[in-house]
């Protein structure tokens, strides 16, 4: 009898356990099933409201004056992951993988949590693309940039002076857009770690140069900056913008701790369909100006010297695409021209004027996939010249 | 005479403020712009406008939020463009 009762109790326990496991597992199974049903193309899920977009590209280079005349130089793949957490909150991050001159590089281009406070204000924090001018934030992505190269000085490079922020920084921004009558305005205000002055102790050749990708700040002072954009026409075809950025750049407790870097920028974007020519005209341009307080540095021989530390960079790009004609091949062709100038502080060891002219052609296979070919002619600061032919195959997804 | 001068100055200033406020009013034509018009005008400022069929409704919802913040679109523009893309895909 006792044995029977024990066996009954054991069976009840098993039933209870089974019921418990079923209750615990069934929502998870249901959710998994739902997710499987809703996961569709492009890696998006209706359940989590996330999406992966991005781009990939591959570069080929012909250098007639070099010993190695042809080279497959670079391949890059850059997924951007966006999670919409609520109607007001979302997170986005872009990671770039690329091989540059044989080295594999992985970079978190940006990672930012944004909160839409109201229709005029969005607050974001993290590693942000600095809203200084428009190039870095809007046009740098290779499937958006029509030419296979970046304007001179507008791509962040290690061991090269930055004339204003041209990459991403750690910080916080507040931004938004609104109508002003039939025109529109937009704004960005931000606080970041700011500029870092190269004092030349480790790299005498770069003394006085400014670096903006200052991920672990070298001083307590933070940079403040803003950009204001104005779109005077109701069809949003023209945007003009102005940016400023103020930052103390020297290392804390060093003799350079009070050195101030003042950066200014003006940008323009214009596009128009020229109906008689059945052509789309697109003009982009930006100028950055940087003024750093005068200071004394040591050259490679240990001699002190000083210089007027002001520099500027600019580019103007014009493109024409006969997209409105009937010929299905010609309408995919875009003619491109860009003039670039980088005028670094004359008396600095890294100073001088370099100019570059880019003439190119893009063939669009779809709205975000294309083949780009360009001829790049450079006049270097030391009086020499260089020429390169570039080919890029790029897709945005 | 002094009072009249102040009166004229105040009236001029008030009319100027009224004129500025009036010019800031958005016209009906702009308010009534459709999502498709806003899509073609705004997306092409940076890149060629993507096909609505490229993504599904949920994806457009997420992408629109990203683009609104990245390019400082107004809330009205962003909502209209999203609705258009979701209806047209």
Cα of first residue to Cα of last residue in chain A, in angstroms, is 72
Contacts of B82 in chain A (CB under 8 A): none
Cβ-in-10-Å burial (0-12, 13-18, 19+) of A64 comes to: exposed
Specify burial of residue A385 (Cβ count, 10 A radius: 0-12, 13-18, 19+): exposed
What are the structure tokens assigned to A207, written together? 């003394």
User: Can you read off the two tokens belonging to residue A113?
Assistant: 């949590």
What CATH number is given to the structural domain containing A172? 2.40.160
Q: Is A261 contained in some domain?
A: yes
Domain carrying residue A319: 46-52+74-335
HSE-CB at A147 with a 13 A cutoff on CA atoms is 28
The per-residue pLDDT string of chain A (397 residues; one tens digit each, 9 = 90 and over) reads 455 565 566 566 555 545 544 444 444 444 444 443 444 444 444 455 899 999 999 999 999 999 999 999 999 999 999 999 999 999 999 999 999 777 899 999 999 999 999 999 999 999 999 999 999 999 999 999 999 999 999 988 877 899 999 999 999 999 999 999 999 999 999 999 999 999 998 899 999 999 998 888 999 999 999 999 999 999 999 999 999 999 999 999 899 999 999 999 999 999 999 999 999 999 999 999 999 999 999 988 889 999 999 999 999 999 999 999 999 999 999 999 999 999 999 999 999 999 999 999 999 999 999 999 999 999 999 999 999 999 999 999 9
Interface membership of B27 toward A (CB under 8 Å): yes
> Is residue A352 situated within a structural domain?
no
Domain-located, residue A8: no
Q: What is the ipTM of this complex?
A: 0.83
Q: Residue ranges of the alpha helices (H) in chain A?
A: 2-38
- Residue of A130, A179, A237, A397 to mutate for B, most B C-beta atoms under 10 A: A179
Ordered by start, the domain boundaries in chain B are 2-88
Contact between B46 and A40 using a beta-carbon 8 Å cutoff: no
Contact with chain B for residue A396, Cβ under 8 A? yes
Bridge-based pairing state of the strands A304-306 and A260-274: unpaired
DSSP strand pairing (A122-129 vs A210-211): unpaired
Residue of A nearest to B51 (CA): A367
Distances (CA, A) of A30 to A50, A206, A376, A383: 19, 60, 57, 70
Our count of domains for chain A comes to 1
Residue A211 · residue A198 · CB < 8 Å: yes
Task: Using an 8 Å CB-CB cutoff, list chain B residues near A42.
Answer: 54-55, 59
Instruction: Fill in the DSSP letter of residue B38.
Output: H
Supply angle C-alpha A100, A128, B65, rounded to 5. 110
Q: Could you give the angle at the alpha carbon of A64 between the alpha carbons of A60 and A67, nearest 5°? A: 90
Backbone angles phi and psi of A238, in degrees to 5:
-120, 130
Q: How far is CA A323 from CA A183, A234, A320, B62, in A?
A: 27, 23, 9, 29
Structural domain includes residue A346: no
- CA A356/CA A378 separation, integer angstroms: 4
What is the interface size between A and B, counted as CB pairs within 8 Å? 107
Asked if residue A341 lies in contact with residue A362, where contact means CB atoms within 8 angstroms, the answer is no
Q: Which of residues 157-176 of A touch B (CB under 8 A)?
A: 175-176
Query: Which residue, A261, A263, A282, A287, is CA-closest to A271?
Result: A282
């Amino acid at each position: 009898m006792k044995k029977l009762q024990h066996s009954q109790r054991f069976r009840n326990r098993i039933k209870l356990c089974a019921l418990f496991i079923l209750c615990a597992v069934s929502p998870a199974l249901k959710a998994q099933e739902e997710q499987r049903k809703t996961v569709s193309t492009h890696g998006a899920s209706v359940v989590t409201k996330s999406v992966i977009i991005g781009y990939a590209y591959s570069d080929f280079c012909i250098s007639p004056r070099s010993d190695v005349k042809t080279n497959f130089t670079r391949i890059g793949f850059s997924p951007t992951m966006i999670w919409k957490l609520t109607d007001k909150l979302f997170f986005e991050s872009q990671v770039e993988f690329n091989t540059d001159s044989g080295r594999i590089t992985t970079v978190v281009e940006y990672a930012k949590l944004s909160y839409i406070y109201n229709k005029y204000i969005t607050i974001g924090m993290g590693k942000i693309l600095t809203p200084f001018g428009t190039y870095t934030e809007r046009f740098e992505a290779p499937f958006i940039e029509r030419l296979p190269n970046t304007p001179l000085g507008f791509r962040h490079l290690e061991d090269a002076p930055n004339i204003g922020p041209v990459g991403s920084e750690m910080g916080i921004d507040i931004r938004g857009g609104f109508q002003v009558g039939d025109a529109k305005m937009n704004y960005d205000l931000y606080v970041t770690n700011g500029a870092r002055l190269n004092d030349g102790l480790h790299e005498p050749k770069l003394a006085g140069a400014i670096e903006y990708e200052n991920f672990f700040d070298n001083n307590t002072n933070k940079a403040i900056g803003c950009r204001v954009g104005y779109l005077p026409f109701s069809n949003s075809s023209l945007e003009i913008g102005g940016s400023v950025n103020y930052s103390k750049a020297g290392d804390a407790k060093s003799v350079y701790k009070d050195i101030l870097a003042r950066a200014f920028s003006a940008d323009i974007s214009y596009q128009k369909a020229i109906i008689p020519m059945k052509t789309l005209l697109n003009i982009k341009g930006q100028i950055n100006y940087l003024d750093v307080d005068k200071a004394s540095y040591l050259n490679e021989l240990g001699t002190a010297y000083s210089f007027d530390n002001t520099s500027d960079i600019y580019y103007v790009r014009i493109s024409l695409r006969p997209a409105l004609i009937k010929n299905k091949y010609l309408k995919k062709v875009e003619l491109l021209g860009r003039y670039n100038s980088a005028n670094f502080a004359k008396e600095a060891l890294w100073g001088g004027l370099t100019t570059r002219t880019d003439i190119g052609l893009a063939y669009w296979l779809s709205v975000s996939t294309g083949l780009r070919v360009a001829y790049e002619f450079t006049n270097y600061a030391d009086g020499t010249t260089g020429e390169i032919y570039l080919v890029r195959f790029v897709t945005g997804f | 005479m002094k009072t009249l001068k102040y009166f004229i100055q105040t009236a001029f200033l008030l009319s100027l403020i009224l004129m500025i406020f009036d010019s800031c009013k958005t016209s009906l034509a702009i308010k009534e712009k459709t999502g498709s018009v806003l899509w073609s005008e705004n997306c092409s400022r940076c890149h060629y406008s993507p096909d609505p069929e490229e993504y599904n409704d949920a994806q457009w919802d997420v992408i629109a939020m990203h683009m609104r913040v990245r390019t400082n679109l107004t809330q009205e523009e962003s909502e209209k463009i999203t609705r258009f893309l979701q209806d047209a895909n």
